[in-house]
Chains A and B, each alone.
Chain A
Amino acid sequence: MSIKAKLTNWSNSAKRYLDNTFVFTLIAIFIGLITGAIILAFAGFNPFESYWAMAVGIFSKPKYIIYTIIKATPIIITGYSVAFAFRTGLFNIGAEGQFIVGGIVAALAGYFLHLPPVIHAMVAFALAVGAAAAWGAAAGYLKARFGVHEVISTIMLNWIALYLSNYLVMSPAVKRAESEATHKILATARIDLFGVWKVSEQGMAWRMENRFFHDLLKPDINIGIIVAILLGVMIFLILKKTTLGYELRAVGFNKDAAENGGINVNRSFMSSMAIAGGLAGAAGALQVLGVSLECVNLSNMEGYGFDGIAVALIGGNTPAGCFLSGLLFGALKYGGGKLQSMMGAPREIISIVIGTILFFTAMPKLIRYFTSRINQKREEK
């Protein structure tokens, strides 16, 4: 084989390699980290030491990994929510509001209902998902009935959810005295593991003797991540194996063609938004039932839903991709705190680092665009 032929061969395989979304995403994350490093260096922090502090802070102990997973769980699921809507041709900016609705309903159901353990948690979870699904479906209905663009309606619904939640949190029956929060949910509704036992006296005594488990028990271990995996599988099955999923995706590809093919487009808008809303609500419910155990009076959005948009973008709108990118995002957020405590870098720098990584993660399409343009020019020559 001539050298030229070899080179073309190599170039072709490289092109195929680069066309792989996963590889593209990895490269983008890498470029993002480098940009972050440059900014860190500009701000007077040693980038290698900084990243090392982050890596140590995320991976060096089992409990750090647990903290990371806890941080990642809600944004993985809001990522699913956005991704699901994306796949069906809708842009769900409302994950934030749906998350809030799910959270407040779970907090109310967790405190006011009196049910046996497990069942209580399941009922609270189901109510939260149902309420958030209705919240999402409202945007779908507005689009189907009046043609209101879902971006506009979901942004507005976010604010309605925020202030509705605040109103409920601060109402006398719900508010816990001397706080800006609801009553803590009852023990029967909690989905954290060993949560009550680990702070009890026997639990404490046992922990002092078993130092390894003592450390492991410090984070609020909960079953959220398992639910996240199950939800991911469920979305995959809905999209790929059911008629509903086929219809929704068809609408996503081409609305007019789908309608022509006999699919009720308006109904599919509503069911898609309901499922997306239910997912984001599930994230909010898991956060309340497993981690925070209460809802607080929010002066601003917490950003779980908006992070979900980024997670979906990095994850290529697939459940598995969202799961991985959610973990990455959770790690960056948790590791960002380590940057602050170990390196003394202010929070703003961490936000820049995370922002740059996101920016470059969204780049593959741009990079691909440029490479294809270059290839085109070559072919023209």
Chain B
Amino acid sequence: MKRYLKICMAAMIISGLLLSGCGKKEKQDPDSTSQSGVMKVGMVSDLGGVMDQSFNESAWEGLLRAQNELGIKIGYLESNNNSDYGPNLESLTDAGNSLIWSIGFMMGDAALEAAKANPEQKYGIVDMAYGNNTPPNLISVLFKSEQASFLVGYIAGRMTKTNKVGFIGGIKGFIIDSFDYGFHAGVNYANADVKILRQYVESFSDAAKGKSIANQMYQQGADIVFHASGPVGDGVIEAAKEKSKWAIGVDKDQNSLAPDNVLTSAIKRVDNAIFNIVSDLQKGKFAGGATVVYGLKEGGVDIAPSSDKHVPKEILSEVAELKTKIIRKEIVIPYNAKTYEKFYIAKQ
């Protein structure tokens, strides 16, 4: 009996000593990191987590690139539920980061509150805009997702054999609207006879529901389904795989999820945007209070590089032509119901 006790006591004393010794050493550390000149940048992911195969992962890739090329220190915190956003942002603020990213519009309120509460701390947010209310220490990044959606819509419109395609959105809102109407415009531009089925999952996490909606669309005769729904899309792509139909991915090149069934992806280069802003910050530039918009022109959106696997060359060259037209503003892509109507009338 006493042997157990002795071992326990000894272990306690030893580790106590070690811990206290460790404490002394560490105490000088917090200041030395900020003095050493190495910039630290952190990000808080939304509920999807850092490895979500979507824009959180893309954001993290941007930071990884910054770590490799710019020699900065990076870190992340994942959120398990909505009430984690505030504490996570606060933790990173205290960790001495030069810039803290919030990923996704779900974090809009938390990021705004944090930026107001810590005027000395620089923040960035992806997919959210506050217009004139943006605090001077917050930079918001928007993507012209409608441009990439238009291009994949064009591909879908040209390639459909059943003259029926589908659109699955996450939660209706200004972000997903831009995907929705961009895609509609693209399909319509390619072939006005194609019918588009449209449904919202009302979730960004319920992959099972995404799958069942996709299955329904395929049963109704659609042969290509585009999803703009984050992790819900895993279910959509799974349905395409099982039914051997086409799915179009979003945010990242999702071809790797189902190499034979993901036709193309409307990619949002969150990584580029994050890398550029971090790189600017390292040079001392920070456009706080502004909303930066990334479109085709800025390399912020595009179709996935893997598109050449399944999309015929002639369609791809048409897409390339469209791209230059969009960049030259010869075609202005609609991003909501109102602009779509205008686009539609102009086309007639």
Contacts and interface: CB of A to CB of B under 8 A. Distances in A.
Interface of A: 7, 10-11, 14-15, 17-18, 27, 30, 34, 48-49, 51-52, 56-57, 61, 63, 67, 71, 170, 175, 177-181, 199, 204, 207-208, 214, 218-220, 287, 291-292, 294, 296-297, 299, 302, 334, 337-338, 340-342, 344, 347, 371, 374-375
A121 B300 CA distance: 47
Contact of A291 (B11, B83, B105): B83
Contact of B171 (A180, A208, A292): A180
Contact of B22 (A52, A63, A218, A220): A52
A57 B91 CA distance: 8
Contacts of A337: 77, 84, 87-88, 91
Chain B interface size band reads: 35 or more
B52 interface: no
Interface of B: 1-2, 4-5, 8, 11-12, 15, 18-19, 22-23, 26, 42, 49, 75-78, 80-84, 86-88, 90-92, 94-95, 105-106, 113, 116-117, 119, 171-174, 202-206
Nearest to B90: A218
Contacts of B202: 170, 175, 180, 297
Nearest to A371: B1
A155 to B, nearest CB: 19
B78 to A, nearest CB: 5
A167 to B, nearest CB: 11
A302 B81 contact: yes
Contacts of A15: 1
Contacts of A296: 81-82
Contacts of B117: 204, 207, 214, 218
Contacts of B5: 14, 17-18
A48 B18 contact: yes
Contact of B95 (A14, A18, A297, A342): A342
For the complex, would chain A's binding face be called helix, strand, loop or mixed by DSSP majority?
Answer: helix
Contacts of B83: 220, 287, 291-292
Given A299-B203, A342-B95, A11 B2 contact: yes
List the 8 closest A-B pairs by CB distance, nearest first: A178-B173, A299-B205, A48-B22, A292-B83, A341-B91, A14-B5, A341-B77, A291-B83
14 contacts: A30-B12, A67-B87, A178-B105, A178-B171, A180-B203, A180-B204, A294-B82, A296-B82, A337-B88, A337-B91, A338-B91, A341-B77, A344-B75, A371-B4
Contact of A181 (B82, B94, B113): B82
Contacts of A341: 42, 75-77, 88, 91-92, 95
Nearest to B4: A371
B1 A375 contact: yes
A313 to B, nearest CB: 21
A220 B85 CA distance: 12
Contacts of B15: 34
Nearest to B86: A220
B77 A178 contact: no
Nearest to B89: A218
Contacts of B105: 178
Nearest to B73: A344
Contacts of A49: 22, 26
Contacts of A299: 203, 205-206
